[in-house]
């Protein structure tokens, strides 16, 4: 779909998932994305003894988006998120908002029901445009 190599993204997400620091939930998550500058970035969940401040895999992913190799305003083109079984996992609500910010309505997400645009995954989203209207 749309020239995206989903196998590459799934593999990168699974590799990231294996690096997860999830000693409290024992629920490792990995995420990987194709960026519009050609990079593949990834992230995993990083939990904390203060449970509420743990980071989701998508948070790490967005940090990597602005990590080495980034310049300007990189955009997420396509994202895969996997759970401990290596299969697609739906992002939590907060992470859908993160993905929306950096990918917008056309960003593609591999969901449990196939590849879908963010406009389907987070309908009627609040986003950057709302702050300028
Ligand atoms: N988690 C993610 O990393 N991303 C999601 O979209 C859903 C939940 C993590 C947070 C926590 O470390 C663990 O999964 C269990 O909730």
pLDDT in tens, 21-71: 999 999 999 999 999 999 999 999 999 999 999 999 999 999 999 999 999
Using the predicted structure, report yes or no on whether residue 129 has a pLDDT greater than 90.
yes
127 belongs to a structural domain: no
- pLDDT (0 to 100) of residue 2: 67
131 belongs to a structural domain: no
35 belongs to a structural domain: yes
123 by Cβ neighbours in 10 Å (0-12 / 13-18 / 19+) ranks as: exposed
1 belongs to a structural domain: no
132 belongs to a structural domain: no
Ligand 1 near 110 CB (within 6 A): no
The residue whose two tokens read 């020239």 is 3
110's tokens: 């591999």
Using the predicted structure, report yes or no on whether residue 1 has a pLDDT greater than 80.
no
102 belongs to a structural domain: yes
pTM for this model (two decimals): 0.97
CATH number reported for the structural domain that contains residue 54 in this entry: 3.40.140.10
43 belongs to a structural domain: yes
CA distances from 46 to 1, 23, 54, 103 (A): 31, 9, 6, 22
45 belongs to a structural domain: yes
How far does the centroid of ligand 1 lie from the alpha carbon of residue 4, in Å?
25
- Residue-wise pLDDT tens digits, 74-109: 999 999 999 999 999 999 999 999 999 999 999 999
- What does the pLDDT average to over 110-132? 97
Owning domain of residue 97 = 6-121
- Name the residue of 48, 57, 84 to mutate for ligand 1: max ligand atoms within 8 A of Cβ: 57
Q: How many domains does one find in the chain?
A: 1
């Amino acid at each position: 779909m749309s020239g995206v190599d989903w196998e590459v993204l799934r593999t990168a997400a699974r590799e990231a998932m294996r690096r997860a620091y999830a000693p409290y939930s024992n629920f490792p998550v990995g995420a990987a994305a194709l960026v519009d500058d050609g990079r593949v970035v990834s992230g995993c969940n990083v939990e904390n003894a203060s449970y509420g401040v743990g980071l989701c895999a998508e948070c790490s992913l967005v940090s990597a988006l602005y990590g080495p190799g980034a310049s300007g305003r990189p955009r997420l083109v396509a994202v895969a998120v996997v759970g401990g079984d290596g299969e697609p996992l739906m992002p939590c609500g907060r992470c859908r908002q993160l993905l929306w910010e950096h990918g917008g309505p056309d960003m593609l997400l591999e969901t449990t029901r196939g590849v879908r645009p963010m406009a389907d995954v987070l309908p009627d989203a609040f986003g950057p445009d709302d702050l300028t209207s």
